[in-house]
Amino acid sequence: VTRCCWAQSAKQNGPVPKSSCSFTGTCQVQISSAASKPEIMEIPVFVLDAFTNVPFKGNPAAVCPLMHELDDRLYQKIAAEMNLSETAFITRTNPSDTFASGSKFHLRWFTPTTEVNLCGHATLASAAVLFLFEKNINSTVMFETRSGLLAVTQQKDGYLMDFPLNPPTKQDPNEFRDLVQAAVGNNPVQDVVLSSVTKKLMIRLSDSCDRSVLTSLKVDPVALLKAENGGRVKSLLITMKGSPECQPGYDFYSRVFAPWSGIPEDPVTGSAHTVLAAYWSKVLGKKIMTAYQCSSRGGELELEVRDDGRVNIAGEVTSILQGTIRL
């Protein structure tokens, strides 16, 4: 809006009608406009089901490939908004790379309440985003993470992850009596072991138990938190021996609960199998195993324990959603 200022002219010659203002002295220009809108940030987001080839099975993960790092508080807010077990954020290690050409990336994982040190299913999903949607040209991509360098290789059917192995140590069940009771009640327990590195406590049900004992457990996450609040445990694994002689031939079964990280029950957990694979490989005397996680969604993992202290974890991924977060 432009307004001619005739105040000086009026003093000298009397008022001048606005409509006929012809003052040639100094004029004021007032510009009024609506407040400029802040720039909208657009973040691509994908949701994929990991460790399955069937939609709505396995473990869903959200994946956000980012051109630049974001503030940690924003990472956490996005993860809380997605409200899945984990949301993964991928960034480039080399600014000259693209998601299609790069072979190494940064990767971070957030639950709805906290950042975690290791996550299998969201790593699997992140690699799938790079290969399927970003058309990455490499056969293997590497992720720099809190747990070191993790490699994921594209296979004919699914993806193969190279993860650290986390062997557990035997524990006195009485040391975790309240937690064991809250988890499995009066069902017979054959072993209790702990991975101090990952703070994962594993309870092995007796071989006399049928698989239905594991699947029918009603585990109260609040009871778990009350039974263990000293920081020794961040995740609880309940497992039992499988039936490899019966098709499809699973070597062991498991369920995973992590209310300490905001996850009442995790549907299919790659990181838990860095502990489970180490334990069952020793018990069964096998390097190559097939495992099934008996959550309501369920998921299958192919495992190979290596001699170099690593474990290969293989699984399939199916895409569910592709969209944009606008902030």
Active site residue ranges: 86
CA 257, CA 117: separation in Å to the nearest integer? Answer: 16
CA-based nearest residue to 290, from 303, 280, 277, 279 = 303
Phi then psi for 96, rounded to 5 degrees?
-80, -15
Phi then psi for 109, rounded to 5 degrees?
-125, 135
CA 65, CA 228: separation in Å to the nearest integer? Answer: 36
CA-based nearest residue to 27, from 55, 10, 48, 8 = 8
Phi then psi for 287, rounded to 5 degrees?
-95, -35
- The greatest distance separating any two alpha carbons of the chain, rounded to the nearest whole angstrom, comes to 110
E strands of the chain, at which residues? 42-50, 59-66, 86-92, 104-110, 115-116, 140-145, 148-154, 159-164, 169-170, 189-195, 200-205, 235-241, 252-258, 263-266, 288-293, 299-305, 310-315, 317-326
Q: Would you tell me how many other CB atoms lie within 10 Å of the CB of residue 270? A: 25
| Residues near 259 by beta carbon (within 8 Å), at least 6 away in sequence | 221, 222, 224, 225
| Residues near 118 by beta carbon (within 8 Å), at least 6 away in sequence | 109, 145, 146, 147, 163, 164, 198, 271, 274
